[in-house]
Each structure stands twice: as C-alpha cells, then as structure tokens.
Structure 1
Amino acid sequence: MTIPSNASATPSATANGSTSSSPSALPSSLPLLSPRPPTIPSTGTQRVLIVGGGPAGIVTLRNLRVEERSHGGTAGLDAVLYERRESIGGVWYLDEGTLALERERGYNDTTWPLLPSKGSSGGNRGSAPLFPSPAYKQLVGNVLPRFLTFSGEEWPELEGGEPFPTLEETWRYVNRVADPLTPYVRVRREVKEVWELPALPLSNTDTDEEGLPITGGWLVHTHGHSTSPPTSLWEHFAALSLCPSWTTHPAYPPIPGLATALALAPGKVHHAKWYRSVDPWWASKRVVVVGNGVSSNDIVSHLVARRKEEWGERPGWEEGEEPVYKAIRHEGDSMFPCLEDERIREVPFITRVCVKRAEGDADVQLDLELATGERLEGVDHLILGTGYQPGVFDWVHTLARPATHQDVAALDAKGIALQPDGWHIDAPRLAEAGGVASLAEEGDGLQSLWVPLTAPPSHPSDDSSSHIEEKGPKPHPHTLSSLSNESIDHAHPRRVPHLHSHCLLARNPTLSFNGLIASVVPFVLADLVSLYTRLVWESRPSPGSATTDSPLLSRASFNKRRADELSRFSYLEDQKLHAPPPRPLHLLNAPRDAPTISSIPVAHLPKSFHCLGGQVEYDLQVRLRANLLERKPWLGEVVGLSAQEWGEEREVVRRGMYDVKRGWLVERERRARVARGSKGGSTVNGRDAWENGE
C-alpha cells in the first residue's frame, strides 16, 4: 500500500463562501509553509487520519496537507484530523463549561471522562462526554517562545514583555496556526479503536498457507459525540498519525497503601491531573505535595501565595499554621525552578500510606510514613505531581501474523470486504455482526490475527488490608472498577515497540506517532517529526524494502543505540553505589553521590525509552532536520528551520532558559513585594498568583 499524492488541488473556500486560488508567495523575510492550504479532493480510502487536535496534531495536519509543487515537491496529502473534545488545542484548551462542571462535582481522580447530567454545568453540550484538560489558568511555561515555534509561524510579542507565555497565550498561538485548517478538522469525534488490515492484493497462489503483504490500511472505529447517543462510525484510512495527549493516564508511584487510600479516601488523595486551583485545599491544615516537577512546584507555590494573601506575609505558626509539605525523591532540577519559602518544608519520599478510622467516626484519617521513619499524621490532602504514562496504545491492534484467504473471508462475512480497489466497510453489516468486538470472537480465527500494540495503562495495585489500620469502610464499587491489579514497575519503563526514531512503525510505516516523546521543546520536535513522516510516506516504502531510508532496516540500529544510551546512564549511576550492606532498605540502591533529602540518599529511576531531553533530543532534532533539508532544500528558508537559527548558539540559549525562568520568578516576586508593601500576598511561580487561584 502506498500513499498517493493528489494530482491536483481545487480552489479553497473563503470565509464568505467565495473561492480563491492558491496564495502567491509571501516575502522571503517571512516565508510560510502555507498560509491557507488548498482544498484537496477526496480520494476515497486513500486518506490519512490524524488522531488528536493538540499542538502535535495541528502541526501534523498542516505539514501533511501543505502544497509543495511550487518548490518541486508534491501536492499535499488528503489528511483529516479527529478531536474528541469540542475544540482543538489539546492541554492548552481550558474551557469554562468543563471547569464549572468540575467545580460542581469536585475533582475526582476516578472519573474519566466527565458525563454531564441534565441540569448540570458544562455548557450546552448535551450528554457528550467531557475530557478535561490537566492544565490550570495560572500555568506559565518554562520554555521560551523561540522553542515553542512551528516552522513558518513566529510568535507575537508576549503581553507585558514577559519572557514566557501563559496558558492562554499558548492556546491563542496554536489556534492561529489551526485556523486555516478548520475545514479538515472534525471535533467531538473520539477514536475508540484501530485495527491494521491485511494487505492487498492477495498472493498469486490460492493456498491458505500463503501469507499476504503486511500493509493494507487501517480500520478505525469512532464515536461521534455530536449526537446522543453517539454515532458509531467505521472507516478505512491508508495511513494514521497518532497524536493523542499522553496526559490521559496519570502515573501513580508504587507506594504501599496508595491504592487503598485512593479507594477509601478519594477526597484526600489527588493527582495533579485534576488540579485547577488551590481553592479546595489552601485552608487545610496539613497538605502534602509529592514531586519536584512543573506541576508540583506550581501547586506548592500557589498554595503558599494564597496563604500569604489570606493569612499575611509571615507564617502564623503560633496560630497553628503548618508549612506545605513537599515530598521528593531528588533535589530540584534546574529545568523546574521553584523559589524557596519558609512556608515550604521539604521531606523525604513517602514509603507507605496508611488509612485509619477512629471508632464511630465516618471519616478516615490519612497518615504517611517517610523514608526517615518520620510519620505525618492526619494529612488533609495528598497531591501527587508524579507525571503521566506516555505511550498507552492498547486501543491500536496490529497484525500478529500474516493473514490468509480464510481471514479475508471471515472479515468479508463481518462487512469488511476486500474488493479490487481496496477495502470497503459495510457499516450496517459490521454493526449487525457485533462491531469491532466481533473481530476478537473465537470461532473464525480472527482473534489470533491481531495483538494490542501496548499494554493497558497501569494503576496502583489493589494492595492488601495490611495497610489499613483498623477496619475502614468498604470501597465504592465504581471507585474500584477504575483500578486494575497491575502494579507500576519503574524498573521497566513503558515503550511503544517496533518504532523507528520514536515515530514510525518500522514494519508498517503507514502508522506514525507524533507527541510520543516526552520532550523539552515539544513544539519544535512535533514539527520536525511530522515533516519527516511526510518525507517517508512520499517515498512510498514497501514492507521490508532494502533502501537506505528503510525504517525497517534502520529500526534495529536505532533501538540498539537508544538501549545503549539507557544502559550507559544506568551504568554511570550504578558506579556511585555504596557497597557495604547491611543498610536500610531504602538505601540499598542509593548512589554514593546522589542528592540527599534530610540526609537520606535516594536511588535513581531509570530513564524512560521515550523521554529524551538534553543532548539526545537535540541530536534527534538535528538528524531529522538534516534529512529534510537534504531532500527538500527549500525548507532551509523557512522561519524556524533556517541555518541561522540552528547554530551552536541554539543549545546555549535552550539550556540557559531555565535560569531565565528562575530570574523571572525572582524579579516578579521582588516587584510584587514592592507593590504590596505591607499588605502581604505573593506571585510565586505565576503571574498574579494570589488572585483566588484564578
């Protein structure tokens, strides 16, 4: 299966319904890839689907559709984007209706997505599920606009001359890029499952044992939430670019007792995914925040700022005020600056969470055991800023074996018919057969044809009652249903298998991923990955083709190189180990020169396969850009890709921007203190952070 370029383009429709021809070239001082991509006629099944309308999905849609024939390239691909929310923007889109519904119901870690009820808040959206963004209004980035720039799309000046954009400013930038792409975006369209289809045509022999080539496009099952009940749709696409947010699945640390606490005390344990403001927590006596990254630092700082506003500049220790506790495994990373404050107390990492209930008391008490043996009793709120699980694609089903004629006949019986011009989906017939669930039924052999691309998301294990002191209340069945028995294993970080350069399925490169990499400059990398994906698709690779650009051939060397990088990291850390046991359990794997928290050294966590950063990420960007410019030299004239912007100075500025963020925080705090005089208040880690968490 190859992905054809369209032979011609039709005039694009303007806002008033008239048509216009392709725009003329813009001045060379600000060349753009395409200010308004032309409308391209549909080519039936020869279409590309982009899943996810965040920054990665938007730039992928733009880069796949852009017209390049004036430069000697090809016409754009027939690409469309599906977004499950009511608007694009990804995590940067924070809509008021969903915020109101969250405030009305409380922030519940076990409810996803939100289902509006009649008469509830949430805007005029009927019963369509809502997928809240994990962002918050006070969010201010730690990446300079230069490194949040899509090629050809410069940032405007930030409000007040600030160096870092706010949540709203970033959302406006993404929307500006997305605006001309609106005709190709379908919102409220949730992709439920994806199935790789066997290739066509059939082998020249008629034996059932004869396998087929291993690329035949993709069956996509979606729910259209513009109707109630949602409309189930089945479609066939030639290629997919998966750009969903990896913030869907929060990561919970493997702390004994945590799963029990989530089940028995859901009002006391929260993941930062559900943080919107400090309103529910700031006045509580004992609040513990876990983590030392962006969200954790922001939450701690916002809590302190609100308390200063309400209780005065100096802590009221004599009135019983307590500090905000910050439980951490490592000292702060320079990438995530946070100002020190006497209202913040750092404590060692948590080794156990205990839930107990006094006799006759309906409420439960939350106690935390720390690595030092210290015990924090009566914790009002435990907030987990422990990140997310990227790379969860258990809803993507890839071929596990070569398909046979019997498989094709079984698919035909379900309404998935192989015809001379490709696969055709008979939706009513497929629905009558039981939908995509019928593809896994026993009896016709199809259940062995596919395998999920990854494991499902991990959750804290439902640990035993040994972590419950006395007998607590029975967990609500709905709460337990959202927890699996699978424990998180930090020694084996999740990765999507069989990928070339973190972005293409090597065996079948018609499946691509964008936004999978946990990146320090995600906009730049998403831009490069989508341009590179188009480059590979335009080369029309066949399975196993032995070309120098073959993702199949280069994937093995890529994976080995990445594995060597991770092994080298672990080796260097392991060289720091203390030798002589016996030692306390939490010290056994502690590096000799590792940071200590309250004199407790902590062991390193292995780096995730798809978590790059630093020199490794920069090297990948340089390689992708070099491949692009070798085959499309005109891209070297585009803003964001020019040689002047990719000199040695680039990484110097990128590494130094975290010091800029710290300096910005210090200066903002200084100016705020001058402005407040003796009135108190704070702007720690955010613009005007004292304004009621809003």
Structure 2
Amino acid sequence: MVLPPKSALVIGAGPSGLVSYRNLAKYGCFETVALYERRDDVGGVWYLDNPTSSTITPRWPSPSYPGLIGNVLPEYLSFSHYPFPALADPHQPFPTLGETYEFLRSFAEPYICEGKIKLNMEVVRVEEMPDGQGWKVRTKDWNNGQGTEVDEIWDAVVVAVGWYDHPVWPNTPGLDILREHGLATHANSYRGPQGNEGKQVLVVGNANSGNDIAAHLAPIAKTPVYQSIRRPAFPGFPSLPDARIRSIAPVAQYSLTPSNNKITAHLQDGTTLTDIDTIYIATGYKPHPDFIHVLDPTSPTPHITRLVDQNPHPDTSHRVPSLHRHILYAYNPTLAFIGSPMSFTPFTVNDISSLWLTYIWSLSIPLLPSSPSKLLEFETERIKAIETRRKETNNPSALFAYSVLGASEESYAESLRKEIIDIHPELEEYLPKWAPEEERKKHREMMYPRKYDALLYARDHQKKVVVEAA
C-alpha cells in the first residue's frame, strides 16, 4: 500500500460513482482521476435504456421500470454544491425516474465532455499487485463494438457498483423449477404489467418494488393479486390499501403441474393456492463485487483470491468483507467501496463517504488505524451488534442486516462528516447534516406520510381524469 496514491479509478457511473469522481477530482491531490462506466450513459439504476434491434454490444439493464417514482425527497437526493432542481408537479414531491436521471446526467455532463468519464468501458477484473504496486484493471472497450481488452495499472480503485447485478432469490423449495420454466421472474427484470392481463399472479415481498408491482398488476391481472409477506411493512415503504391485492403468508414450497404450467403455492400457514400463472420475486439484492481479486491475507506466499470469498460469516454473508467503516479494504486501503451499505438517503451518505475517502487518501485526515487488525475492528463490532439485535427481537426476519445501515445511518454519516469538518471547517455550510436532533429526525420521518399523501393524490387524480374523459 502506498499513500497518497497518484492515480485513482472510479468504477460505475451511478449516483455513488459520479459523486465519488467529483469529490476525488475536486478535493483530492491526484495526478489522474477517471471514471469507467460499462453502459452507454450515466445514471446507474436511474438510467432506463431503450435498446434497439441494432444493439451489438452487451446490455446491463437497469432494474428500474417505466413510471417509477422515488420515495426520497429532493433535498436528500442532492449533492453538496449541487442541489436537486425544483420539480414540475407540486402535488408530487418525489422525483420521477426521468427527473432523477436528468439530474444525474446534468451533474456528469461536464466530466463526460472533458473525457474524464468514459462510457462503454467495462471493468471485468481488478487484481491486487504484490508489494504495494497498485491494482491491475482489465477493461473491455465497447465503443468499437468489439470489447477490446486492455490492462491498466492504477494506484487506487473505488468500486461504486455491485448491488443490482446480484438479485437475492429465496431458498424456497420448487422455485428453481419455476425459474427454469420462465414462470418466476425477479423484480430486476420487471418492465411493467403488460402481458399479465387476466393472469393469476403472486408477488413475493412488500418493500418498494413488491408494492409497486402488485399495484401495477391489480387493475389488469386476475384478482386477487397475491402478495406474500414475511414481516410487517417497514414504514419507509408506504402503499395504498387495495381490495384487489390480498396479503398472504410466506411460501413454504412451490409445485408445478407440467400439463398446464400452473403453479401451486403451499404457504407456511397451511393454506394452498392453486392455478397461479406467474411469480414475481421482489426480495432485494446483495452487494457482491465478484470481479475484485486480492492477495490472500492468510497466505504466507502471494496468492490471488476473490474478495467476496474472504472469511464468509453465516449471518452476514451479504456484505463486502473486510471493510473499515464500510469503505476501506482493511488489508490494502487503496481499494475502497462507496455504496456498500444500503441507506435511506444514499446520495447524501455516499457524498459524505467519498469526500471522507478523498481526504483519507490525500492524508488530510490522520485518523486511519495503523494495522489491518485495527481496521477490522469496525467489522467485528458491527457483526456483534447485528447478532445482538437479532437475538433481542421476536421477529427473526426483522430488517437487521450488516449491509443495511438502518438506525445507525445518522450516527455513521455524521461521524464521517465531523471528521471532515474538523479538518475543513469551510465546508460546514455545504455538507448535509445527520446530527440526531429531534427536529431533523422528525423532518426526515415526515417523508413517510408525505409519500402516502402523494400516492393518494395520484390515485384520486387518475380517477378524476378518467371520469372527466368519460
């Protein structure tokens, strides 16, 4: 490991990667900073591409879908020095998919024009080099349609991808057979309710995607639309009551009747549902950057292994391992991850995280522990805290996970912010605040009822439009 690094590569042009590039380039002391994005535009999940039959390069579709509206207010989607613009509809305080994409595109435009953000550049492998010589990055350049491979050496690498490439599927018996027959689809490939007219559908999951999919299907699918729920809805995932959607218990097993391709769902409460046509699985994603290869820290001789295979822990396997404060790779802190934990306000959290990283790499914040064992204490303590929370709850499926910040988000982000402000007090007015003041906490939590009110308005307004048109 050599600090400070002279060159830094950011992988991924979603919100996390874009703000990471801006902070490294603007506040760091690097000779070279670049960002590589494998798709043909920026925006990450907020870029819903429209492929044509003439597309010859690989596609990595976004898990978003037409009509998607976010559940985070614009002030929490802003970047420092770059606020989210005013929205067009005063009755819809949450940005649409298109509005969020346009914000990100305008943020990135100057860097694209300067050639600092390179599109159609797929990173297929990142490998740690021995003796602190940096990172070998293998890319495929798809700008010529051929995927030309090139190896480059970078002093430091920021990984801002990994979540949405790896959907989580339940380990429900019989589900694999449904997937083989194309009867079970993950929410990451959902593009709207079309094609489900008159079909009996089961949606598994009641977070944002599951609620949206069920609501989209209710007007056209055979009713009721079943929605399998294993825990009460988190308050951040509001949805409107709909008599056409029926909540059911978790599924214990699926079976398929080959003669008519009809599905039977055997529920954990003993109920059996028959004649189901299709299943939508909306059970989330996991961070799993399997293209990162590191020197095995347990081997006495240089030996390359995949980072994600390091020291798996049975209760926290859905995580990027060996990270200090969810950011720095403990055995070589010239590798960093921005966006490795899921947060309620990811734009602002990752703005702070990448700015903290910039100052760590520039040696402006002298707070980095001196050894891997010290850096790993953060991970050890968090694993213990998650295990304790799970033991203390009566709900074994409660949302206590290593890679979900949850209740720790405010204290985590504010601790990074404080270390930045202590060194650079001039940034105080520009950086978002997470101080656990009651008024600020109340303001954030008001997003839940505001989202519910926005859903009510959209539903009632749609009914009014239909009546007037008639």
TM-score band (shorter)?
over 0.9
Of the candidates 290, 295, 300, which is equivalent to residue 209 of structure 2? 295
Which residue in 2 is equivalent to 1:556?
Answer: 376
Which residue in 2 is equivalent to 1:27?
Answer: none
Provide closer, same or farther for how the CA distance between residues 245 and 93 of structure 1 changes in structure 2, counting only shifts above 3 A: farther
Of the candidates 139, 146, 159, which is equivalent to residue 222 of structure 1? 139
- CA separation in 2, counterparts of 1:251 and 1:192? 22
**Structure 1 residues 664-679: aligned runs within 5 Å:** 664-677=454-467
Of the candidates 213, 224, 229, which is equivalent to residue 323 of structure 1? 224
Q: Which entry has the higher C-alpha Rg, 1 or 2? A: 1
Amino acid at match of 2:369: S
- Secondary structure, aligned partner of 1:518: coil
Amino acid at match of 2:37: E
Query: What's the CA shift for 1:145?
Result: 0.8
Query: What's the CA shift for 1:402?
Result: 9.0
**Structure 1 residues 1-400: aligned runs within 5 Å:** 1-4=1-4, 46-66=6-26, 68=27, 75=29, 78-97=32-51, 121-122=52-53, 124-125=54-55, 127-161=56-90, 162-182=92-112, 183-199=115-131, 215-263=132-180, 265-266=181-182, 268-281=183-196, 283-306=197-220, 321-358=222-259, 363-390=260-287, 392-400=288-296
Amino acid at match of 1:349: P
- CA separation in 2, counterparts of 1:348 and 1:257? 17
Query: What's the CA shift for 1:555?
Result: 2.3
- CA separation in 2, counterparts of 1:77 and 1:652? 43
**Conserved? CA contact 2:186–2:282, under 8 Å:** yes
Amino acid at match of 1:355: L
The answer to whether 1:450 aligns with 2:304 is: yes
- CA separation in 1, counterparts of 2:36 and 2:73? 29
**Conserved? CA contact 2:161–2:289, under 8 Å:** no
- CA separation in 1, counterparts of 2:468 and 2:358? 59
Q: Which runs of 4+ in 1 moved over 4 A?
A: 74-77, 401-404, 488-492, 645-648
Amino acid at match of 2:284: G
Query: What's the CA shift for 1:216?
Result: 2.0
Provide closer, same or farther for how the CA distance between residues 297 and 618 of structure 1 changes in structure 2, counting only shifts above 3 A: same
The answer to whether 1:532 aligns with 2:352 is: no
Query: What's the CA shift for 1:227?
Result: 2.6
Which residue in 1 is equivalent to 2:450?
Answer: 660
- Secondary structure, aligned partner of 1:179: helix
Provide closer, same or farther for how the CA distance between residues 538 and 53 of structure 1 changes in structure 2, counting only shifts above 3 A: same
Which residue in 2 is equivalent to 1:607?
Answer: 400
Query: What's the CA shift for 1:135?
Result: 0.3
- CA separation in 1, counterparts of 2:468 and 2:88? 27
Query: What's the CA shift for 1:137?
Result: 1.5
**Conserved? CA contact 2:48–2:65, under 8 Å:** yes
- Secondary structure, aligned partner of 1:454: helix
**1:623-677: per-residue Cα shift (whole Å, max 9, x none)?**
0000110111111132x4379x985432221122111101211233233333333
- Secondary structure, aligned partner of 1:377: strand
- CA separation in 2, counterparts of 1:280 and 1:551? 57
Provide closer, same or farther for how the CA distance between residues 350 and 93 of structure 1 changes in structure 2, counting only shifts above 3 A: same
- Secondary structure, aligned partner of 2:195: coil
Long gaps (5+) in structure 1 = 6-45, 69-73, 98-120, 200-214, 308-320, 405-444, 457-487, 542-546, 574-590, 595-602, 681-694
Which residue in 2 is equivalent to 1:579?
Answer: none
Which residue in 2 is equivalent to 1:518?
Answer: 342
**1:391-442: per-residue Cα shift (whole Å, max 9, x none)?**
x1222111125999xxxxxxxxxxxxxxxxxxxxxxxxxxxxxxxxxxxxxx
Query: What's the CA shift for 1:303?
Result: 1.3
Give the aligned length: 465
- CA separation in 2, counterparts of 1:339 and 1:228? 46
- CA separation in 2, counterparts of 1:377 and 1:302? 22
Query: What's the CA shift for 1:376?
Result: 1.4
Which residue in 2 is equivalent to 1:625?
Answer: 417
Query: What's the CA shift for 1:238?
Result: 0.2
Query: What's the CA shift for 1:368?
Result: 1.0
Query: What's the CA shift for 1:245?
Result: 4.3
Q: CA RMSD in A?
A: 2.6
**Structure 1 residues 379-458: aligned runs within 5 Å:** 379-390=276-287, 392-400=288-296, 449-455=303-309
- CA separation in 2, counterparts of 1:250 and 1:563? 22
Query: What's the CA shift for 1:491?
Result: 4.2
Amino acid at match of 2:111: L
Provide closer, same or farther for how the CA distance between residues 649 and 551 of structure 1 changes in structure 2, counting only shifts above 3 A: farther
Query: What's the CA shift for 1:240?
Result: 0.2
Provide closer, same or farther for how the CA distance between residues 237 and 355 of structure 1 changes in structure 2, counting only shifts above 3 A: same
- CA separation in 2, counterparts of 1:76 and 1:145? 31
Query: What's the CA shift for 1:77?
Result: 5.0
Amino acid at match of 1:629: I
* TM-score, length basis structure 2: 0.92
- Secondary structure, aligned partner of 2:294: strand
Provide closer, same or farther for how the CA distance between residues 669 and 290 of structure 1 changes in structure 2, counting only shifts above 3 A: same
Amino acid at match of 1:342: A
Provide closer, same or farther for how the CA distance between residues 522 and 354 of structure 1 changes in structure 2, counting only shifts above 3 A: same
Query: What's the CA shift for 1:489?
Result: 10
Of the candidates 427, 432, 435, which is equivalent to residue 641 of structure 1? 432
Amino acid at match of 2:25: R
- CA separation in 1, counterparts of 2:232 and 2:248? 11
The answer to whether 1:570 aligns with 2:361 is: no
Which residue in 2 is equivalent to 1:13?
Answer: none
Query: What's the CA shift for 1:490?
Result: 7.8
Query: What's the CA shift for 1:230?
Result: 1.5
- Secondary structure, aligned partner of 1:81: strand
Amino acid at match of 2:211: N
Identity of aligned residues (%): 31
- CA separation in 2, counterparts of 1:302 and 1:606? 25
Amino acid at match of 1:277: G
Provide closer, same or farther for how the CA distance between residues 238 and 491 of structure 1 changes in structure 2, counting only shifts above 3 A: closer
Which residue in 2 is equivalent to 1:208?
Answer: none
Amino acid at match of 2:50: E
- CA separation in 1, counterparts of 2:254 and 2:299? 50
Q: As a proportion of its length, which structure holds more strand? A: 2
- CA separation in 2, counterparts of 1:3 and 1:626? 22
